Structure 1
Amino acid sequence: MKIAVLYGGTSGEREVSLSTGKGIIKALENKGHDVTPIDFSPEKMEEVLNLDVDLVFIGLHGRFGEDGKIQGLLDMLGIPYVGSGVLASALAMDKAKSKQIFSLNGLHTAKSEVFDVTDQHQFSMIEDKIKRTFTLPFVIKPNQEGSTLGLTIVKKEQDIRQAIETAAHSDSMILVEDYVKGREVTVPVMGYKGKEQALPVIEIIPKNDYYDFDSKYKPGGSEHIVPAKLSDKLTAQLQQDSILAHQLLGCDVYSRVDFIINENEEPIILEVNTLPGMTPTSLFPDSAQAIGLSYDDLIQKFVELS
């Protein structure tokens, strides 16, 4: 097939997307496809507008890639693409909205509140409200950003203001939520709509305090245990919750669902990634490997599902 790969982009996750794109391009070429690589930028829109391909494989992360905007453009152009559509992408990217949907449907989420940070004069008021509402430690992060960019685990009251400013650099809305201590796990989901399957659960053991940008993308930054050493009951619940979360948002083809298992052995859902990393150190390919699916076969499977 003639397949265009959109990668790179202009978000804070550009470096990761460059690596994801390279992996996808190589895998598609290995499978005999005719590949057109595009390092995407909204300023070079004509590259997308003039595409003559059978399918677009989106290897972008974060803004203008994972948030539904590029999907809307491709829909208008009538070009099919791999992965979730506009609404599912936008909902998954908006952490506050997706959490509302999860909790309404019986999935455990951390207590949270969202604040508008477009007006800096409101920062003191927001700081006071956070102090009244949350007990230390808690997390302050951009509402729509990936790869833990702009995230702070606030352990002291005097750090709240700085954490608000850091998160506000990345987004006009920030999310404050209880810090849940526990084991970090993630579950890849793939399949036709209504027939999705969960892949083996992965436990992530970061070398830093939490699974931050360096832990995710630097070689040796974290250890992945696949399948995670959990009871059969907890494994089944995580896989079931992942498929439910994927379906509740209306995701398509594939996604990856992140959880923390708290001290009571309850899975607390964090978010759904509609375009999870596909770099050589990424989680989804690791989990696929555990069921005998090579990286190239996994990419080909996404093409077939699409």
Structure 2
Amino acid sequence: MLSRNERTVLFSKYEDIFQCPICRNAMTLVNQKSFICSNNHCFDLNKKGYVNLLTHSLKTKYDKAMFEARKAISAKGFFEPLLDRICVMMASEQLLTDSQSPIKILDAGCGEGSHLTYTLQKLIEKADREVFGVGIDIAKEGITIASRGVSDTVWCVGDLAKSPFSDKSFHFILNILSPANYSEFHRMLDDEGMVVKVIPERKYLQELRAILYKQSDRSIYSNEHTIEHFKRNFNLVDFQHVQYRVTMEHEDIEKLVHMTPLSWGAPAELVQQALAKNKLEITFDFSIMLGRK
């Protein structure tokens, strides 16, 4: 885990990417502990290494147990084929080699930070320039876990509808299995920047869905509207499909059930049926959309 001082150095180095989520004015890091704008709106750096930029407190269904389960699933490598493909797509863009200034990547809806941390590690190996990452999520529980990491990454609690970042701050915006705010993405994205949007495909976790939603419409998933909405907001540069199957043992299945919102609306007895499985072949099925302004 980076020390608080090391995190503060990062916040200070990149303070120009921040803007006040209340009045939209630029913010300055004062006394190495607080972001303050010209209207004296103040946001303190947390002792755990992140900054909370929410304008009011929010409760979400995403609790600590869910994020811990997601982190455990990520640590087992179950998302690596997806993330490896994303890294290949990003590395093929000239953005990574065109200049000596740092490449800035925002993970919008970063959860507990595993996806961004892995992606940064891979891109740093491929890029000819510095790569810097920022993760934002509305759930404090996720950011608290993310800030335990050792990577040189800035973590923020914040609302995408009132994004606390300046215009044209980022070269890439990642949006992986998470809600989007495309008007804010447009504003924050560099003119030559790209949005990387990952959505679940029809067979994503189909084996789990079949247990939790037997003979129900929710056992089938469609993302047509999500794809069309993306195309209305960005020029689609690339579209790739990633599908693979993994064998999960009982412990992994438990973590999978706890990490996915699929279990929220399912009858309790069907959730217990899923949790009782000793082994399951699980399908991971995604589409990756790469878009420009």
Instruction: Report the TM-score range of the alignment, normalised by the length of the smaller protein.
Output: under 0.3
Q: TM-score, normalised by structure 1?
A: 0.24
Q: TM-score, normalised by structure 2?
A: 0.25
